[in-house]
């Protein structure tokens, strides 16, 4: 009542700009503030203690319910209930996440490879950890993501987030499993799949071509460059191929060289043609000839010309058809599969024949049928734009089943050094031309009558920096080769003559023995008649 009277005694003066109601409301609000200040601190503490006691009682009840549930409800049912609870009460996310695994079955995932190359150029300043590498032949540093790092990218009006994830394999020696996670708004799914990912493929190819390094892969290589051992799953190790051979430096017949280049270029541009005729996009070459004629150099020149990696496969290291399939499936497109000295690898097949003859179980498991199936069968179609090169010193030792078109499409004879080949070697090694040089005519004549490999001719040219001394040394070498060949021919002819004379003498002796025996028999008969 006292408070009410005080309020009523306040002089209420009406402001010219405010109504009476506004002034009266201001007085009531002031009284409310005074009433709130009258609450004692003891009442506030009682309220807080009651809240804490209610929370403790609720927490204890929940713990009791949880203990009872763990004891009475089976684990599988609890998991199902929890997942159902999260499904119904968790708000739906507007984002969609695509998981891009490193491997697609037994083959390499091309989306993963393209993303790995593309994201190396999209590193943001907020990224905390990166992998950095550079080889001697690279022009720029190679940047890669560490596990768990994020990269934010934009495409038109779409915001995309990449995340690199590594998880431990379930098997004891399974290694790490790697994949990328691409997240974006669900409403942009069609744009990402139809336009953004093809754009990533295109940019990745451009980046690869800018700093392409040709690699030589081998299953016996103990290490790999740029973590290629991890990328190939441990099947192949690699080194950077720094072979300087090109088609300009090969000592080959110009017409043969042009034919090889034209065949390679036609192969590259006929992807649609191979698909139309129903054949795998691959090409097989057989390089045959004596040792030192440049077979390995030609393979290196093909790789440098095409910018293809080389996979050097030794069949003696493959123990079964299944292992051969796994090995070939781990190779990449745009590559050359090299199988050197295929005639020496025939011992792999000879083991199988010996085991069959002895009625022993075939422990190797590698068969001619398995090799043919990987080269020209169903398994050969598991890759595009591939070249298979076989080399041999003895073409006649190869199984005819391997020689037919479709397996070895083009047979290239790597012959001895010719005059055209020498005219390529001389400028490359000595920096001279054939004009007004007295040695060239004599060397041409000797090469036409002497069998010398390009490797032997090149070795003679490297023995001196003086062109005249080097050419004179080559002339002397070719003359020695010619004389040795003539002596060998004479020895063979002499040997054949000696054999013929020996045979004639032996025949004469046999005839004489027969005549003597006949005479003795006649004498015996005559003596019997006399008796």
At 321, the pLDDT band (50, 70, 90 cuts) reads confident
More confident residue, 9 or 490: 490
User: Stretch 160-183: mean pLDDT, rounded?
Assistant: 80
192: which DSSP letter? I
| 196 pLDDT higher than 90 | yes
More confident residue, 316 or 279: 279
pLDDT at 3: 41
| 109 pLDDT higher than 50 | yes
pLDDT at 433: 77
More confident residue, 494 or 509: 509
More confident residue, 136 or 66: 66
Residue 307: name the closest of 364, 264, 371 by CA.
264
Q: Are 477 and 417 in contact (CB under 8 A)?
A: no
Kind of pairing between the strands at 282-288 and 410-413: parallel
**Segments of the chain assigned to CATH 3.40.50.300:** 217-353+365-413
pLDDT in tens, 280-316: 889 999 999 999 899 999 999 999 999 999 999 888 7
pTM of the model: 0.61
> Backbone phi, then psi, for 335, in 5-degree steps?
-145, 165
- Superfamily of domain 217-353+365-413 in CATH is P-loop containing nucleotide triphosphate hydrolases (3.40.50.300)
Helices (H), 250-360: 254-268, 271-277, 295-306, 321-329, 346-357
Mean pLDDT of the chain: 78
More confident residue, 8 or 501: 501
More confident residue, 367 or 359: 367
Q: Are 312 and 340 in contact (CB under 8 A)?
A: yes
pLDDT at 10: 41
Burial class from Cβ neighbours inside 10 Å (0-12, 13-18, 19+) for residue 513 reads exposed
pLDDT at 460: 92
pLDDT at 28: 46
| 195 pLDDT higher than 90 | yes
pLDDT at 513: 65
Give the number of C-alpha atoms closer than 13 A to the C-alpha of residue 65, restricted to the C-beta side: 6
At 227, the pLDDT band (50, 70, 90 cuts) reads very low
> Above pLDDT 70, what percent of the chain?
73
pLDDT in tens, 424-482: 898 889 888 766 678 888 998 898 888 899 999 999 999 999 989 999 999 999 999 88
Q: Roughly how many angstroms between the first and final C-alpha of the chain, as a whole number?
A: 189
pLDDT at 337: 92
């Amino acid at each position: 009542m006292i408070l009410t009277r005080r309020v009523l005694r306040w002089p209420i003066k009406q402001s010219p700009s405010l109504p009476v109601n506004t002034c009266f409301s201001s007085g009531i609000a002031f009284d409310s503030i005074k009433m709130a200040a009258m609450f004692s601190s003891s009442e506030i503490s009682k309220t807080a203690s009651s809240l804490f006691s209610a929370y403790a009682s609720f927490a204890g009840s929940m713990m009791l319910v949880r203990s009872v549930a763990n004891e009475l409800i089976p684990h599988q049912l609890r998991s199902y209930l929890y997942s159902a609870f999260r499904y119904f009460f968790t708000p739906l996310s507007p984002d969609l996440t695509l998981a891009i695994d490193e491997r697609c079955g037994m083959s390499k995932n091309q989306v993963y490879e393209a993303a790995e190359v593309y994201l190396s150029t999209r590193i943001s300043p907020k990224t905390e950890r990166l992998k950095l590498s550079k080889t001697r032949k690279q022009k720029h540093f190679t940047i890669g993501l560490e596990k768990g790092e994020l990269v934010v990218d934009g495409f038109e009006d779409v915001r995309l987030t990449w995340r690199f994830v590594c998880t431990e394999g379930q098997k004891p020696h399974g290694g790490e499993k790697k994949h990328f996670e691409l997240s974006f708004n669900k409403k942009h799914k069609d744009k990402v799949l139809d336009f953004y990912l093809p754009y990533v493929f295109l940019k990745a190819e451009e980046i690869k071509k800018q700093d392409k390094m040709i690699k030589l892969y081998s299953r016996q290589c103990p290490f790999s460059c740029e973590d290629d051992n991890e990328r190939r799953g441990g099947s192949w190790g690699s080194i950077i191929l720094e072979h300087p051979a090109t088609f300009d430096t090969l000592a080959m017949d110009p017409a043969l060289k042009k034919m090889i280049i034209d065949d390679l270029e036609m192969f590259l541009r006929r992807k649609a043609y191979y698909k139309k005729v129903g054949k795998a996009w691959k090409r097989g070459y057989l390089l045959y000839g004596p040792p030192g004629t440049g077979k390995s150099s030609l393979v290196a020149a093909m790789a440098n010309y095409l910018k293809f990696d080389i996979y050097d496969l030794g069949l003696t290291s493959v123990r079964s058809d299944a292992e051969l399939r796994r090995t070939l499936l781990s190779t990449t497109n745009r590559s050359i599969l090299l199988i050197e000295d295929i005639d020496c690898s025939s011992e792999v097949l000879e083991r199988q024949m010996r085991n069959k003859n002895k009625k022993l179980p075939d422990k190797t498991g590698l068969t001619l049928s398995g090799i043919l199936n990987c080269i020209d069968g169903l398994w050969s179609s598991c890759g595009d734009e591939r070249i298979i090169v076989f080399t041999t010193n003895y073409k006649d030792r190869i199984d005819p089943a391997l020689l037919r078109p479709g397996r070895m499409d083009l047979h290239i004879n790597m012959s001895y050094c010719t005059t055209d080949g020498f005219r390529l070697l001389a400028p490359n090694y000595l920096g001279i031309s054939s004009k007004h040089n007295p040695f060239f005519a004599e060397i041409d004549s000797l090469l036409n009558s002497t069998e010398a490999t390009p490797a032997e001719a090149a070795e003679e040219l490297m023995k001196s920096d003086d062109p005249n001394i080097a050419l004179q040394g080559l002339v002397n070498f070719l003359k020695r080769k010619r004389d040795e060949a003539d002596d060998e021919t004479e020895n063979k002819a002499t040997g054949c003559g000696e054999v013929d004379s020996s045979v004639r003498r032996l025949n004469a002796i046999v005839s004489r023995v027969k005549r003597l025996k006949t005479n003795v028999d006649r004498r015996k008969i005559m003596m019997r008649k006399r008796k």
